[in-house]
Amino acid sequence: MNSFLSIFRLFFLSSLCLIMFNSVTCSLTVHCNEKDTNILLKFKQRLTDPSELLSSWFPNSDCCEWRGVTCDNITGRVSELSLPCDTIPSQITALGEIDDKSHCLSGELNLSLLKLEYLNYLDLSNNDFKFLQFNSMGSGGNSTNLHYLDLSLNYDIVVHNLHWISNLSSLQYLNLGGVHIHKEIDWLQSVTLLPSLLELHLRDCQLETMYPFLQYANFTSLQVLNLAHNDLVSELPSWLFNLSCHISHINLFNNQIHGELPQAFPNLRSIKSLVFSKNYLKGPLPNWLGQLEQLQRLYLSYNYFSGPIPSCLGNLSSLIELVLNSNQLNGNLSKDLGQLLNLESLLLAENSLTGTVSERNLLSFSNLKVLSLNSPTLVFDFDPEWTPPYQLQAVEFGNVRDKLPEWLFTQSSLKDLVIVDSTASFEPLEKFWNFSKQLDNFYLVNNTINGDISNVLLSPKIVWLVSNNLRGGMPRLSAEVIVLCLYNNSLSGPISPLLCNKMSNKSNLIHFDMGYNHLSGDLTDCWNDWKSLVHVDLGYNNLTGKIPHSMSSLSNLRFLYLESNNLFGEVPVSLKNCQNLWILDIGHNNFSGDIPNWLPQSLKGLKLRSNQFSGKIPTQLCQLHSLMVMDFASNGLSGAIPNCLHNITAMLSSDASTRKVGFVINLPSLKTEISCTITMLIKGNELEYFNLMNVIDLSNNNLSGSVPLEMYMLTGIQSLNLSHNMLSGTIPKEIDNLEPLESFDLSRNLFSGEIPQTMSSLHYLEVLNLSFNNFMGKIPSGTQLGSSNLSYIGNSGLCGPPLSKICPQDEKSHNTNPREEEEEGNEYEVHSWFYMGLGIGFAVGFWGVLGTIFFNRRCRHAYFRFLHRTYDFAMRKMNFM
């Protein structure tokens, strides 16, 4: 009984203590510090917040409850601020297109936030800040506790000063990737003052120097260095290789560093990842690489390394990935590479390796998953009975001459297969096509397969079979296929067996390219079942008929290439449902009627060349603000050129950095970039371009009237061809507004007047043709204007170089000698003094008489009486008559 009472008392006291503790704790709830609240509110005042991310940030509230803010549970001081912007890319985006950030924070990024004394984590990445303000930080009170700082992917920020970073003495992680660090900044001196720094990410910061003069960088704790995708052009400096032995990762991927790797790499025995891909490094691979005993990943691809692969690499027993592709390496494969027992990836393609590759080179790679071997002088000689000890996931072969390695068909785990530039036999083809069904990515480019694929079922997600001389009709297609490219083969027959074949599952096809084959028949009317299509290329075939109405169901369509076929009729109005079109190329056909006036606002390239379109150019085209290519050449267009073309804003800028032709597929099961082209006739050559240029070609039509002055406001245009029309008028002096102009053709028109001197300021002009017009006067001086007399023939009134006709104002000086010129000058001087004397005498006499009349009263009265008598005599004479 006593023991029970003791237990009860103990339980009661414990409960009472717990209740009292909770009551005291609740009464001492910690709130946000007032100083921290004011700093955050000032930060908010300078921002634009379209998605109301900071809607909970208002005065008289606890900032510890605000979105993105974390406070210390004991002190109530702000310890973390995390406001990154989430941008989910669309399933289809244009190449070079930046993610939509219209919902992200923008405005001024004021680093007075660093006055938050207890802040240890700050992430403002992937927003749309325009300015970086640090002047208000002051010298005292800055956060020395900050461990993590991420301002990356704010692409519009330009940093002119990095001195403020040196105050963050506890910083361990710094990411300024995508932020423009001005080239004048001594960025390295600032970051070397951070003794605790573990990771430094300066990818894509437009850096231009690596400070080779610096002897030592005090990165005592650095583990990750990322300087990828910059403009570094110096040699690798010595300080980079004096890093502490604690470093575990260096990333200089995709820079522009020139020079050789240094001959010494001290104190890096524990490095695990070494990445110098996509630079301009040259020379042989240094032998000290073999001393990096802990190295797991060596990336040296896309450089200019030469010489053999050193045998010392065989010492890297921990190596997992060896990536040396796309260099200038030569010599045989070292047998010592067989000692890399842990190797999983071996990429040696696109080099100049020689010798023979057999099972002896690959026998010890039991963990190998990725293999890439491609060299014009490399010979494959595998025992057909050999079975490898590995199961590959990806393999690339190139320049295989006789027969594909038989062991390839034993790789049941293979998902990616690339075979290029090979003359090997793919027989038996049925076995090969059946083997391809297990693949996800299937690339065959520039091989000599010569096989009929009429009955082949293609099922990989990416099927890229380009320039293989494949024959027969359309293959069968699995619903799993996302990309189908059979470009430049010898396929024939109609396309209906593929498009009209009902599949059990919904099609996922996005990219459909059958260009440069021998297809015939019509475009079929089965497009309703292929609504996922984004890219359709049926150009350069023998197709005929009209564009079917079912094509209007392709609401996702961005690219439509039908050029160089035998298609006819009008462009159906129903096609306006394809409101996402970027490129419409139907040139070199027999289309007729008016140019459509319902074209989508998203259009970037419109090519109608060599058809039978007639009528006027619709003014609705001026509303296509994204249009960069307008090619209407060789049709029957008439009337005047619209005077509203200056409203096409894309033609006001010649910046081609974001004008790549292509798109990115962003799917959970697949992410890939697909580059496209557009054929343009520029500078007299019709070529395929991967980047769009600002081009207007209205040549070979029946256009009349003068060129509107507004056309000379298209300050980004690079090629302008108005030749073979009936245009008239003059070239205005405003032609110098077209500074980026590279090609200018006004030949065979009715232009007149003088060629303005301002044309000589067009420094990029390479092709000029003003022939067969009515121009007159002297040809302006300028290197680009005097390159060929063919540019001016057919203008009888033109003179001066490069024509042989001498201008009248130059002819006199051309035919007289210096003595005659001196005598003529003396004679002119005598005549000048003679006429000057006559003038002075007349003036003196005139003012002498006039002064006498006006200043002498008697003379003045006599003069007016004389005038009065003369007037009376004249009137009487008139009355008598």
Mean pLDDT calculated for residue range 431-452: 95
> pLDDT tens digit string along 296-321?
888 888 888 899 999 999 999 999 99
Q: Report whether pLDDT(643) > 70.
A: yes
Q: Domain 30-88+101-206: give its CATH superfamily.
A: Ribonuclease Inhibitor (3.80.10.10)
- Per-residue confidence (pLDDT) for residue 250, from 0 to 100: 52
Higher pLDDT, 764 or 773: 773
Are residues 682 and 693 in contact, defined by beta-carbon separation less than 8 angstroms?
A: yes
Question: How far apart are the C-alpha atoms of 662 and 723, rounded to whole Å?
Answer: 31
Mean pLDDT calculated for residue range 540-562: 96
Quick one: which of 276, 299, 164, 297 has its CA closest to 227? 276
Question: How far apart are the C-alpha atoms of 810 and 439, rounded to whole Å?
Answer: 76
pTM comes to 0.80
* Residue 27 burial (CB count, 10 A): 7
**pLDDT confidence band for 92 (50 / 70 / 90):** confident
Strand arrangement of the beta sheet that strand 92-94 belongs to: 92-94, 662-667, 670-675
Structure tokens at 109: 């990024």
Structure tokens at 184: 């004048």
The residue with tokens 């297609």 is 477
Quick one: which of 728, 723, 679, 734 has its CA closest to 707? 728
| Structure-derived torsion over alpha carbons of residues 114, 120, 126, 127, reported in degrees to the nearest 10 | -40
Domain locations in the chain as residue ranges:
30-88+101-206, 816-876
Mean pLDDT calculated for residue range 619-639: 95
- Per-residue confidence (pLDDT) for residue 153, from 0 to 100: 92
Instruction: Find the length of the chain.
Output: 881
Q: CA angle, corner 421, sides to 418 and 426, nearest 5?
A: 70
- Per-residue confidence (pLDDT) for residue 216, from 0 to 100: 58
H or E segment to which residue 357 belongs: strand 355-357
Write down the mean pLDDT value for the chain.
83
Higher pLDDT, 473 or 251: 473
Q: Report whether pLDDT(525) > 50.
A: yes
If you average pLDDT over each of 191-195, 303-307, 337-341, which comes out highest? 337-341
Structure tokens at 764: 């990029």
Q: How far is CA 779 from CA 248, 772, 785, in A?
A: 67, 15, 8
- Per-residue confidence (pLDDT) for residue 293, from 0 to 100: 82
Q: Phi/psi zone of residue 311: left (φ > 0), alpha (ψ -120 to 50 degrees), beta?
A: alpha
The pairing of strands 297-299 and 128-133 is unpaired
Percent residues over pLDDT 90 in the chain: 54
> pLDDT tens digit string along 396-415?
999 999 899 999 999 999 99
- Per-residue confidence (pLDDT) for residue 239, from 0 to 100: 52
> pLDDT tens digit string along 700-737?
999 999 999 999 999 999 999 999 999 999 999 999 99
Whether the bond between 428 and the residue before it is cis, its omega within 30 degrees of 0, is: yes
- Per-residue confidence (pLDDT) for residue 659, from 0 to 100: 76
Mean pLDDT calculated for residue range 39-56: 91
Percent residues over pLDDT 70 in the chain: 80
**pLDDT confidence band for 687 (50 / 70 / 90):** confident
If you average pLDDT over each of 88-92, 282-286, 449-453, which comes out highest? 449-453
